[in-house]
Amino acid sequence: MSDALLATYDAVLFDLDGTVYHGSRVIPGAQETVRAAREHGTPVRFVTNNASKAPGEVVDHLTGLGMPADAGEVHTSAQAGVQLLKDRLEPGAEVLVVGTESLAAEVAGAGLKPVRENGDGVRAVVQGHSPDNTWAALAEACLAIRAGALWVACNVDATLPSERGLLPGNGSMVAALRTATDVEPLVAGKPQPLLFETAAKSAGAEHPLVVGDRLDTDIAGAVAAGIDSLVVLSGVATPQQLIEAIPAERATYLAEDLTALTEPGDDLKIGPRPGWSITTENGVLEAAGDGDALDLLRALCHTAWETGVTGLGGDAESRLARA
């Protein structure tokens, strides 16, 4: 375990949806991996852009999946969003809530007044994911925003991984309001660095590792916070997205899923890999050699990021397809 990736960092900051679970279905090996981190003495934090559940509800969900946790280990975009409101509003200010009752409770807990309808007293709108968000709720928010209310989006994930596949996320609803108001919200969650910085501080970590499945939130947030990251293929990210990743969305390590945390870190790094030779010919990436399939992707990413060539030649494409 001493050479395991998790052993080289002083905390592991896990994304949840698509990284630890898909809705009610745990990702195989997640319980054992989280347990291994705890047994090693590496603090763990659960950092989620999903604002639909309070920390206690997240704890209940994790515990039900075989991963005991406590509320102090959970950091949500709802908490981050409400902190932005608290920093900008007078105590008792009315906040129009588009989201779950747990989000409204966060607002109330910050000394602000949650409401569900627009009115002259509304000073801000906070928007978080809820499966019960309706057109009527968006309409109230639209009126408030167009009247000048501060607009805070807990997160802007376009999709939400579930056991059934990708579903519309809060970002899709945010996009509807953006279109209707011509206003850009303040974004509280990932890819802003606040959630990761707060989680790392709570763990007393100076050298944490982020584990996530989305380039535009998890990995971008880690890059923004100056934190190393492991991108996993158990959720949203695809091989082609990884190859085409912009500098602000490039991970340090790559693995199939979070169970790789118990493997040596050097084996997971994105970079030149044993057994594979990557060249750029005729403006595309070509692969020669033989070896581990994920090592091929790590090597392809490295060359693509170094050269700017992201197209796959026929041989590279077929090898990756067989991976």
Active-site annotation, residues: 15, 17
Alpha helices in 119-217 (DSSP H): 135-146, 170-181, 194-202
- 276 half-sphere exposure, CB direction, 13 A CA radius: 26
Alpha helices in 133-279 (DSSP H): 135-146, 170-181, 194-202, 220-225, 239-243
DSSP reduced 3-state for 280:
strand
Alpha helices in 209-292 (DSSP H): 220-225, 239-243
**182 labelled binding-site residue:** no
SS3 string, 14-51, reads: ECCECCCEECCEECCCHHHHHHHHHHHCCCEEEEECCC
- Regarding beta strands 159-162 and 12-14, do their DSSP bridges make them parallel or antiparallel, or are they unpaired? unpaired
DSSP reduced 3-state for 125:
strand
**190 labelled binding-site residue:** yes
Answer yes or no: are the C-beta atoms of 88 and 228 closer than 8 Å: no
Binding positions for substrate are 190
Binding positions are 15, 17, 190, 213
